[in-house]
Structure 1
Amino acid sequence: MRAVIVANGPMAKPPLGTLVRRGGDLVVCVDGGAAHSLTLGLKPDVVVGDMDSIDPALRQHLMEEGVRMVEFPRRKDETDLELAVRYAVTEGATDLVLLGALGGRIDHTLANLMLLASPELEGVGARIVEGNQEVFLVREEAVIEGKPGDTVSLLPLTEDAAGIYTEGLEYPLRDGVLTFGAARGVSNVLLDPRARVRLKKGLLLVVHHHQERS
């Protein structure tokens, strides 16, 4: 099952249409992200969070429309987005698209990126989409799909990401090592519509900048 999770971070640009199909099996809004969801034409199925940022009138309207509200206390150990991701996975989602998760507070942005490495998401396809960019985690192997000329960065999320092999990128790695804190993996280039990355050790973030709409 596919879930679109709409967070409440600023959206400078709408997500690229090819990255987010209109709708999904489940649309989960993170508190005030419900407003973003409606702007994007996505009808919420559920709103998750402590309800401190959703407009009260919008909340009432959604409740009248039958949208479920899953409310949590403000004093808690998890972020609202983390709770929304957990909700979607518990409901059976195996493919997650997260919107509105970047571009706001730096601590929230970093926490949202690290959320991709949560053990709860092992075996679940999860990616963050912002405008023409998408970010996803590689634990063992992944395929990168786009257009030749797209920019692709590989960033280690652990001390070392080792045994890295790439196919279809301008600057190839063969049993390569990317070290946390070094920028070696930034700004590679997609050569083919499909590239492949695999690694033997560690975790790797893929940041894919799709070419702008013509």
Structure 2
Amino acid sequence: MKAGFAPFSEKVTLLGGGELTPASVSDCLTRAPNLVVCDGAAARALEIGLMPQRVVGDMDSLDDATRARLDPAILHEIAEQESTDFEKALSTVEAPLILGAGFMGGRLDHELACYNALVRHAGQPCILVGERDICFHAPKPVSLMLPVGMRVSLFPMAEVVVDGAGLEWPLDRLRLAPWGRVGTSNRAVAERVEIAPNGHGLLVILPRAGLDAAIAALAG
């Protein structure tokens, strides 16, 4: 971590270069008040009247006019090209939880890379927040308080065996894999939904309305 960049004691809103609306950003900041942006998203943050506390990335998308408006002390430049800006942020930002907005709904290859990064950086809890859905990695059992009837989808990024309760189609030592069976379009039939994978690699996808339940499950 760059000298002087201490861990955040409260949740972080992280902005990327995908679909972003002021309402969505405000919604995230209400729940996660510290603002960090991936380099190109700094311009969008300033445009909607927000000053980031930290800018992370290789800075190839940070234009000169935007850079001039930022305190150099908040820039965390990582020049290597082997990882995405989102991955750079996950590996350098320490916080109880990150809400990532602007990482879903844009380029598909960028979005897939973000899901890959969620799994590979399981030590930093993060929920990707889109305009319609949210997604997070569940490397260990999670308990979600959800409205009955809410869609609950599970997508494996690796082979994983899942147990659980509270879903219409039960999870009973169900083996999932990206090349085999997946667990999309399930539904909550109880207010408490338990999902217990036997290892890393399981993505949980919920409607946007499930955001507070996901925050409670991951951050307490």
Q: Per-residue CA shift, 1:3-26, capped at 9, x if unaligned? A: 2211112337953976x2426353
Identity among equivalent positions (%) equals: 28
After superposition, the C-alpha distances for 1:35-74 in whole angstroms (9 at most, x for unaligned) are 34346665410111222223422222233xx76112233x
Runs of 4+ in 1 over 6 A off after TM superposition: none
Q: Secondary structure at the match of 2:183?
A: coil
Q: 1:203, 1:78 → 2: CA distance?
A: 19
**SS state of the match for residue 103, structure 2?**
coil
Output aligned runs, 1:1-214, within 5 Å. Answer: 1=9, 2-11=11-20, 14-15=23-24, 20-22=28-30, 24=32, 26-38=34-46, 42-63=50-71, 68-73=74-79, 76-89=81-94, 93-118=95-120, 120-122=121-123, 124-158=124-158, 160-162=159-161, 164-182=162-180, 184-210=182-208
The alignment partner of 2:114 has SS state of helix
| Separation in structure 2 between the aligned mates of residue 180 and residue 9 of structure 1, nearest angstrom | 25
What is the rounded CA distance, in whole Å, between the counterparts of 2:184 and 2:41 in structure 1? 30
Distance 1:12 1:48 in 2: 20
Q: Which amino acid in structure 2 is aligned with residue 190 of structure 1? A: A
Residues matched between the structures, number: 201
C-alpha displacement at 1:29, in angstroms?
0.5
| Distance in 1 separating the partners of 2:30 and 2:36 | 14
**Conservation of the 8 A alpha-carbon contact between 1:22 and 1:42:** no
Provide the rounded CA distance (Å) in 1 between the counterparts of 2:176 and 2:208. Answer: 23
Return the letter of the residue paired with 1:7: G
- 2:218 is matched with none
**Unmatched 5+ stretches in structure 1:** none
In 1, are the aligned partners of 2:29 and 2:35 still within 8 Å (CA)?
Answer: no
Alpha-carbon distance in structure 2 between the residues aligned to 1:23 and 1:199: 27
Asked whether the equivalents of residues 147 and 211 of structure 1 are also in contact (C-alpha less than 8 Å), the reply is: no
- Note the C-alpha offset of 1:153: 0.8
**Larger strand proportion, structure 1 or 2?**
1
In structure 1, the residue matched to 2:217 is none
CA contact under 8 A between 1:46 and 1:69: conserved in structure 2?
Answer: yes
- Structure 2: tracts of 5 or more residues without a match: 1-8, 211-220
What value does the CA root-mean-square deviation take over the aligned residues?
2.7
